[in-house]
Amino acid sequence: MDTPAETKKIIFSGIQPSGTLTLGNYIGALRNFKLLEDEYQCIYCVVDMHAITVRQDPAALRRRCLELAAIYIASGLDPKKNVIYCQSHVSAHAELAWILNCFTYMGELQRMTQFKDKAQKHADNINAGLFTYPTLMAADILLYQTDLVPIGADQKQHLELTRDIAQRFNGVYGDVFTVPEGYFGKVGSRIMSLQDPTRKMSKSDPEDTFISLLDPPDAIRRKVRRAVTDSEADIRFDPANKPGVSNLLSIIAALTGQSVEEAAAELRGQGYGKLKDRVSECVIETLAPLQSEHRRLMADKAYLQGVLTENAEIANRMALRTLRKVQRKVGFAERLK
Ligand code: AMP
Ligand code: TRP
């Protein structure tokens, strides 16, 4: 693949290689990645630099970067059409992040709920990277003149900040950055924990709260069977009063293309056991092809490494165009080469 044609609009998104991906990642983000493959030039990043804002075991992180690249491909993304690469392989991300740090206010970063959550969870390691995480994310997005960012609802606040930074920078230097829009799925942009359906499903929580994309069928059935519901026996979508049941209905709707109301109507009067069976069935059916393709790819590390190397070169070429322009605008000394 050559440097992508400039006429196509750009999609950018990233996922952290910080644990096994969950069904939340799949429904909120990954499954949407493929939808616009032909209309847009899509760039999907393994954001390893974001992942080290919390402590990682180096060998595990290295393995998970390849694993995530394999998951991107196994979910149907063609690495010849989509730019799939590792963030740390393109140094423009770090360079632009520094510049954007100088256009972002402490107060803005202090308001970020993800920072507050993670600072609470990792009270022994509230590092500066965790604090400036959103400016790195803004750099990821703005480097590629991104039009559209498919993400789950939890990332909305970071995207809003990205837009503010872009507009602020453009206000000073003229139209340097495209101001990106978010892309959220109709259902499932916030899949909740199976054990506490008032919190989002997260890969950093205990095992029985989430479904991993690589869980075998019996583990999926067991986790879904134990999912918290409520003491009524009424299957309807009502997130405020029935968060557990509503979460299960959202999963079915997201995976089948039904609306939550249709999913509820189909199961009405059948009891929570049946509802859970239906959830397991949909999840297992969706994940089976992804898992077998993932296994095949992980057996061929040389191929995966080749994909990442080739695509990092393409990303690098695209990113440098924006970075050089930004450096010129802010007044860095001219480079003759
Ligand atoms: P992360 O795992 O934090 O790197 O998230 C990667 C992508 O998955 C982001 O677009 C998130 O918004 C999305 N995501 C993560 N958890 C969930 C969830 N429980 N429900 C929906 N989307 C999610
Ligand atoms: N912050 C995102 C998350 O935790 C991951 C991410 C990093 C991202 N850079 C991005 C998502 C750029 C979309 C676009 O989920």
Neighbours of 244 (CB within 10 A): 21
Please say whether the beta carbons of 211 and 220 come within 8 A.
yes
| Confidence (pLDDT) at 170 | 98
In the structure encoding, which two tokens stand for residue 282, read together?
């949909």
The label of the residue with tokens 């520094």 reads 98
Nearest to 4 by CA among 263, 333, 314, 334: 314
Give the active site residue among 9, 121, 203, 301.
203
Is there a catalytic annotation at residue 203? yes
Active site residue 118: yes
Nearest CA to ligand 1 atom 12: 152
Q: What is the pLDDT of residue 336?
A: 82
Confidence of residue 300 (pLDDT cuts 50, 70, 90): very high
Enter the pTM of the model.
Answer: 0.94
Compute CA 184 distance to the chain's CA centroid, rounded to the nearest angstrom.
11
Compute, in angstroms, the gap from residue 302 CA to the centroid of ligand 1.
28
CB 144 less than 6 A from any atom of ligand 2: no
Kindly tell me if the per-residue pLDDT of 160 is higher than 90: yes
Distance of CA 232 to the CA centre of its chain: 34
pLDDT in tens, 277-294: 999 999 999 999 999 999
> How many C-beta atoms surround the C-beta of residue 207 within 10 A?
12
Asked about 116 being catalytic, the answer comes back as no
Judge whether residue 4 has pLDDT over 70.
no
18 close to ligand 2 (CB < 6 Angstrom): no
Å from CA of 13 to ligand 2 middle: 6
* Spatial distance between the Cα atoms of 75 and 286, rounded to a whole number of angstroms: 10
Indicate the top mutation candidate among 44, 86, 137, 177 to test ligand 2's pocket, ranked by most ligand atoms within 8 A of CB.
137
> pLDDT of 68-90, one tens digit each?
999 999 999 999 999 999 999 99
For residue 36, the model assigns a pLDDT of: 80
Residue 40 has pLDDT above 70, yes or no: yes
Q: Is 184 in the pocket of ligand 2 (CB under 6 A)?
A: no
| Residues 78, 70: Cα–Cα separation, whole Å | 11
Q: Return phi, psi of residue 10, to 5°.
A: -110, 135
Query: pLDDT above 90 covers what percent of the chain?
Result: 91
> Which ligand is nearest to the Cα of residue 47, counting in written order?
2
CB 50 less than 6 A from any atom of ligand 2 = yes
Please identify, by atom number, the ligand 2 atom nearest to the C-alpha of residue 154: 15
**Over 70: is that where the pLDDT of 30 sits?**
yes
Query: Which pLDDT band, with edges at 50, 70 and 90, does 337 fall under?
Result: confident
pLDDT number for residue 13: 97
* Structure-block tokens of residue 323: 């970075």
**Ligand 2 pocket check for 137: Cβ under 6 Å:** yes
Which helix (H) or strand (E) segment holds residue 6: the answer is: none
Alpha helical stretches, state H, 82-195? 92-101, 106-110, 113-121, 128-143, 156-173
- For the chain, percent of residues with pLDDT exceeding 70: 98
Average pLDDT over residues 54-74: 97
Task: Find the distance separating the first CA and the last CA of the chain, reported in whole Å.
Answer: 26
Q: Is the pLDDT of residue 1 over 60?
A: no
User: Of the residues 81, 121, 186, 200, which is catalytic?
Assistant: 200
pLDDT tens, position by position, 176-224 = 999 999 999 888 899 999 999 999 999 888 999 999 999 999 999 999 9
* pLDDT given at position 211: 98
Contacts of 14 (CB under 8 A, 6+ apart): 44, 45, 46, 47, 50, 87, 137, 140
Q: How far is the CA of 115 from the centre of ligand 1 (A)?
A: 15
pLDDT for position 5: 53
What is residue 79's predicted lDDT score, i.e. its pLDDT?
96
Q: Pull the structure tokens for residue 202.
A: 């997260």
| CA-nearest residue, atom 22 of ligand 1 | 28
**pLDDT at residue 294 in the model:** 97
Q: Which of 87, 85, 86, 74 is nearest to 34 (CA)?
A: 74
Query: Hey, which of 154, 184, 213 would you mutate to test ligand 1's pocket, going by the most ligand atoms within 8 Å of its Cβ?
Result: 154
Q: Can you read off the two tokens belonging to residue 27?
A: 């429904």
Tell me the CA–centroid distance for residue 105 and ligand 1, in Å.
25
Taking CA atoms, 182 is separated from 107, 115, 165, 178, 200, in Å, by 23, 20, 15, 13, 19
Q: What is the pLDDT of residue 2?
A: 47
Q: What is the mean pLDDT of the chain?
A: 95
pLDDT of 53 higher than 60: yes
